[in-house]
Amino acid sequence: MSEQNQVLDVVIIGGGLVGGLTALLLAQGGVQATVLDAAPVLDQDKTLAVMNPRVLALSQATIHLLKKVGVWENLARQQHYTGMQVWNKNGYGEINFGHHSEQPPKVEQALGAMVEPSVLNLAIQQKMLAEIQDYRTQVRVQRIERGVDVWLIHLADGTVLQTKLVIGADGANSFVREQAFIDLDVLDYKQAGISCAIKTAQPHGHIARQIFLETGPLAYLPMASLNENEYGYWQSIVWTLPDDYADEYAALNDQEFKQLLTRESHHMLGEVLEVTPRAKFPLKARAAKRYVQEGLALIGDAAHVIHPLAGQGVNIGCLDAAVLCDVLLHDRSRGVWAHEQTLQRYEHRRKGQNDAMMHSMSAIGWLETTNLFPVVWSRNFGLKLVEQQSMLKDAFMAQANGLSQLKHTRYAVH
Ligand SMILES: Cc1cc2nc3c(=O)[nH]c(=O)nc-3n(C[C@H](O)[C@H](O)[C@H](O)COP(=O)(O)OP(=O)(O)OC[C@H]3O[C@@H](n4cnc5c(N)ncnc54)[C@H](O)[C@@H]3O)c2cc1C
């Protein structure tokens, strides 16, 4: 089968959160993308019946974008949070943002929301099935190559698509990036993350907590519970550990792991009563050396993977989507599509920001796992300093909520 005669405006390879959001933003701007995704359509009942081991901390900017494309209201469950608390086990530094709240918070009081990746992917997929005319799942892309003014996309079933623009949104191990020969900087942290859902004896009070242990940061992130009677007691943990500790902890049985967490977290929410199976993943930062080349752009994890410490990975991917759609649609209204300069503007507006975020997370990752006295002292001092300066705290929050990055786009919040 060949679709060789038709030249498509845009093909997005990867229909996860970032690729899906891009397709929906473009559709809203009057451009229908072809979306190719390797994954199958999710089964709603099966997806919602289980708790994910991890959650995504969505910033206000990401929530705003998801609302714009009508995905937010279709989420089956999510958990708003109203405060953050970060402190050192090995010192006295502590920093607090926002406030504690026993009752389910009103949306306007929230700093952001925690959503399970599969719940978010389900809502994105359902919206794409309704709004994207050419959304193909379980597709295997075999090869992509540059033709004369177009990219040729060879699918496993023999189909060949021609397009003026390829958007690579195919995640950390991007095939598009590889096929376009775009080099990658990789920083292996020699650490792994362990995630699972836990139920604690005391409620989380809608606070996201992070404690810096000698081995690395341990985060307790409020998550929606499956059972209404347990509202407020479930959290997802992300525990960043050196590789050998991660192997050892991941191999513990439930009882041993509950005891370890209760002890290591200093009973911060009392005893850990339940744990789900643990997921373990290696931690590596990756940064593509370029985000664009002729007729091609990388977005989301295909362009950058940062340390999960700040919970910003998907948020900066959604900002990529917003900025890319903004520059494409802006030039489209002037009769230009996917011009080299359009794509350069996208790279210029996103790459520096993302690289800076990646480097600061890598530095914090190191700062927080070392026991060198001057470093322990300065990180405590740093946390205390920020805690005492409301202007510094406001600046931190402004950076974290992402809204300033949308300011010069059509998606700005007024
Ligand atoms: C432990 C952990 C905790 C995290 N916590 C947070 C957090 O709190 N907040 C946050 O913002 N981020 C967090 N992140 C990062 C976040 O998960 C990612 O940044 C996000 O999922 C990236 O989205 P994406 O759409 O770019 O890629 P993905 O979600 O990986 O989607 C890629 C899509 O491409 C498809 N695909 C792949 N290859 C092909 C191919 N060859 N052909 C067609 N389709 C293909 C896949 O099926 C998939 O649908 C965390 C990450 C980890 C590991």
C-beta separation of 34 from 11 below 8 A? yes
Ligand 1: which atom is nearest the Cα of residue 281? Answer: 53
Please give the Cα distance from 138 to 136 (Å, whole number): 7
Q: Quick one: pLDDT at residue 373?
A: 46
Please give the CATH architecture assigned to the domain spanning 72-116+189-283. Answer: 2-Layer Sandwich (3.30)
pLDDT (tens digit, 9 = 90+) per residue, 167-223?
999 999 999 999 999 999 998 888 899 999 999 999 999 999 988 888 888 999 999
| Helix or strand holding residue 292 (H, E) | strand 292-293
Which residue type occupies 116? Answer: E
Exposed/middle/buried for residue 274 (C-beta within 10 Å: 0-12, 13-18, 19+): middle
* Ligand 1 pocket member 316 (CB < 6 A): no
Handedness of CA 264, 267, 268, 269 (dihedral sign): positive
Q: How far is the CA of 229 from the centre of ligand 1 (A)?
A: 31
Task: Name 208's Cβ contacts closer than 8 Å, sequence gap at least 6.
Answer: 57, 81, 83, 84, 85, 114, 219, 220, 221, 222
* Ligand 1 pocket member 314 (CB < 6 A): yes
* Ligand 1 pocket member 171 (CB < 6 A): yes
Q: How far is the CA of 121 from the centre of ligand 1 (A)?
A: 10
Of 16, 117, 59, the closest CA to residue 312 belongs to 59
Q: Quick one: pLDDT at residue 215?
A: 86
Using DSSP, state whether 303 is helix, strand or coil: coil
Q: How far is the CA of 341 from the centre of ligand 1 (A)?
A: 28
Ligand 1: which atom is nearest the Cα of residue 17? Answer: 25
Please give the CATH architecture assigned to the domain spanning 7-49+117-186+285-371. Answer: 3-Layer(bba) Sandwich (3.50)
Ligand 1: which atom is nearest the Cα of residue 39? Answer: 47
* Ligand 1 pocket member 38 (CB < 6 A): yes
Strands 160-163 and 234-242: unpaired
Q: How far is the CA of 13 from the centre of ligand 1 (A)?
A: 13
User: Taking the model in full, what pTM does it have?
Assistant: 0.91
For ligand 1, atom 30, name the residue with the nearest CA: 171
pLDDT (tens digit, 9 = 90+) per residue, 112-166?
999 999 999 999 999 999 999 999 999 999 999 999 999 999 999 999 999 999 9
* Ligand 1 pocket member 217 (CB < 6 A): no
* Ligand 1 pocket member 20 (CB < 6 A): no
Handedness of CA 89, 95, 98, 101 (dihedral sign): positive
The residue behind tokens 């931690």 is 283
Consecutive 10-residue averages of pLDDT for the chain (414 residues): 77 98 98 98 97 93 96 96 84 75 80 95 98 97 96 96 98 97 90 95 94 88 93 95 93 96 92 96 92 98 85 90 98 96 97 82 54 48 58 61 89 91
Q: How far is the CA of 272 from the centre of ligand 1 (A)?
A: 29
Using DSSP, state whether 194 is helix, strand or coil: strand
Q: How far is the CA of 18 from the centre of ligand 1 (A)?
A: 8
Length of the chain: 414
Q: Quick one: pLDDT at residue 395?
A: 59
* Ligand 1 pocket member 112 (CB < 6 A): no
Ligand 1: which atom is nearest the Cα of residue 174? Answer: 38
Of 107, 109, 119, the closest CA to residue 47 belongs to 119
* Ligand 1 pocket member 16 (CB < 6 A): yes
Could you state, in order of their start, the residue ranges of all structural domains in the chain?
7-49+117-186+285-371, 72-116+189-283
* Ligand 1 pocket member 125 (CB < 6 A): no
For ligand 1, atom 28, name the residue with the nearest CA: 171
Q: Quick one: pLDDT at residue 390?
A: 61
* Ligand 1 pocket member 223 (CB < 6 A): no
Ligand 1: which atom is nearest the Cα of residue 312? Answer: 11
Q: Quick one: pLDDT at residue 374?
A: 46
Q: Quick one: pLDDT at residue 380?
A: 54
